[in-house]
Amino acid sequence: MLIPPGFGDRSIMTKLGRMVYYTAQGEPWPTESGSREKLVFLHGLGGGSSAYEWSKVYPAFAADYEILAPDLIGWGRSNHPARNYQAEDYIALITEFIEQTCDRPVTVIASALTAAFTIRAAIYRPELFKSLILTTAAGLAEFGQDYRTSGPAQIAKTLNVPLLSQLLYTAGVASSFGIRNYLEQRQFSHPDRIYPEIVEAYLQSAQQPNAEYAAFSFVRGDLCFDLSLYISQLTVPTALIWGKGSEFTGPDVGRRLAEMNPQAIRFFYHSNDVGFTPQLELPAFTVGLIRKFLPLLEASS
């Protein structure tokens, strides 16, 4: 995977296998652990996702924070067990990762469906979390708009045959054309912001052995849930950042979720100039928003 200068990889063992994460390991970044606060960056799911998704953002915080940016199980360079993944798997993995790597409550910055998993993890284990900064945090089944009933999800369910799934994944997803099409259709508001390095990074993740298992779990909708059923239980101070979304995750979804729990969700920011991954589409803009919200959440807590 493509890693920013001064960063290297480490790993932990989880119940589902080895999880790789990236952290500062050399110049120009401080490398002592334990003395600085940590920031955990969690990537979204789909189309070859990995910690690369945040790699244009987290170096901006490396001088002041200890950075932890994992590849979730089933993605990137972490293990890819052959299984049908469920939302509960990733909620447990987020909790397990923080338990093993953080010795105090931590700020987590997460995107998309993983951001929704993070909210549920923070509900179950609030003592692990200091604050949350989340982009397009939705479970893809809110307010009567359920991705699981969509055409792509229904088609994917009919293809649950190992050999056929493998062939379709290799030809349609784990290719430069498939990756670019996914980024244009689902991730970016402005396709002209997609450059070759982004496609290559997603392609490297998508081509890992057994990568199709997590990808098809996502496409089938196995990971989806209705976040509105949980959001009122959140107590950790949170900021939501919302880019231009699909029919399932437009800004109205974010606003309605925020209005359900204003005590925890202190800030909601919407921009039509970015899509699902503002951290890749406009990294400097995303850095600015995170820097804005970090002290505000600190003060509000």
**48: amino acid identity, one letter:** G
Q: What is the pLDDT of residue 153?
A: 67
Q: Which of 8-12, 75-79, 211-215, 246-250 has the lowest mean pLDDT?
A: 246-250
The pLDDT tens digits of the residues spanning 126-167 come to: 999 999 999 999 999 898 887 777 766 666 666 664 555 566
pLDDT of 171 > 70? The answer is no
Q: Which domains does the chain have, with CATH numbers?
A: 7-300 (3.40.50.1820)
Contact 43, 53 (CB under 8 A): yes
* Cα separation, 160 vs 166, whole angstroms: 10
Print burial letters for 261-300: b (CB count within 10 Å at least 16), e (below 16). Answer: beebbbbbebbeebbbbbbbbbbebbbebbeebbeebeee
Print burial letters for 182-191: b (CB count within 10 Å at least 16), e (below 16). Answer: bbeeebbbee
pTM beyond cutoff 0.85 = yes
The pLDDT tens digits of the residues spanning 27-64 come to: 899 877 667 899 999 999 988 999 999 999 999 999 99
Cα separations (Å) of 25 from 19, 20, 266? Answer: 18, 14, 34
